[in-house]
Structure 1
Amino acid sequence: MRYRAHSLIVLLLLTALLLAACGGGTEEPPIPGGGSSTGSGAQSGGSAAESTGGGSAESAPSGELGQWVEAPGGGYFSLLPEELEALLADREVILINVEPKASESIEGTDLLIPWLEIPQHLGEISDRSADIALYSADGTFGLKAAEKLASFGYSAIHHLEGGLAAWSEAGLTVVPAE
């Protein structure tokens, strides 16, 4: 009986040591563009954590617009309509409507690629460091496309939060999809 008690205690101690060793550090993954993450929370979609840099809960890393969202394989910036408008005015951005049966688009949209077909169209967006902005009717498919591109190693992904509906509600121009 005493031998079993000793064996059980040794087994519990070894298990505790093993679990402590596997706990890992508190180091967080790097955020594209430098900086470090200072906060985290649940993303509206549920699976990814959000992190913001620059010391403020409302600022994005390294002066980027929007809020950085961690996703499997990387992450993306979640932008409000005004932030996407500023990004489009400031940089060369590949603007992609990922709504499966798009009837409307943001003026200047470069590509119409249904989000489920993104893997078949990677040749059209081969530069994995290019600024890519994604949107859909209500933001749902844009979010899924952003997560998909992040998993493929794209590093400058921007997702329009609320999609075309939010863009239109902000009074910004919507045109028929071509």
Structure 2
Amino acid sequence: MTDLNSFKQKIETYALKASSQQNERDYQNAVRTIDLLTSVREPFGRDPNFSHITASAWVMNESRSALILTHHKKLDTWLQVGGHCDGDPCPERVALKEANEETGLKSIRQMSTEPVDIDIHLVPANAKEPAHYHYDVRYILLADENEPLGMSDESNDLRWVRFSELDLFTNRPSVLIAREKRGL
């Protein structure tokens, strides 16, 4: 099975689970992601003229009481780590790669290759690109919170944030939803 077919199958499973749990947001985002996979020539590309799939990691400590947030330089906001797939049709691999690059942690490991969230958000137009949508597929990764963090040049700051303090860092629903999705 190709990475694309495997990914599509995981999104279909995600949609079925969302439907059975009567979670309309998750179901609609999964359906829209499947539509993107079949309607865009390069859904994992980076062409800003088209919507595309991105991958993010909610890097959590072993007890899932905290996650890593980065204060993104370009966007000037606190977010989970992640990035563009750049043609790689395996978002879980991209999420792991981005987490390693953006945190410097060696202890990161995948909890599952199944996505735990899909967030579809508009990227506003800027001087270099038109407005377009990111279909951000999120995964939970686990890491040792005692290991020192190594911040990348994409960040102003990088830190472990307790879920109980998440509201102090962001009011973005797309980040706050990690509390619900952490699987406790």
Quickly name the TM-score band, shorter chain normalised.
under 0.3
Structure number with bigger Rg: 1
Q: Give the TM-score, by structure 2 length.
A: 0.24
Q: Give the TM-score, by structure 1 length.
A: 0.24
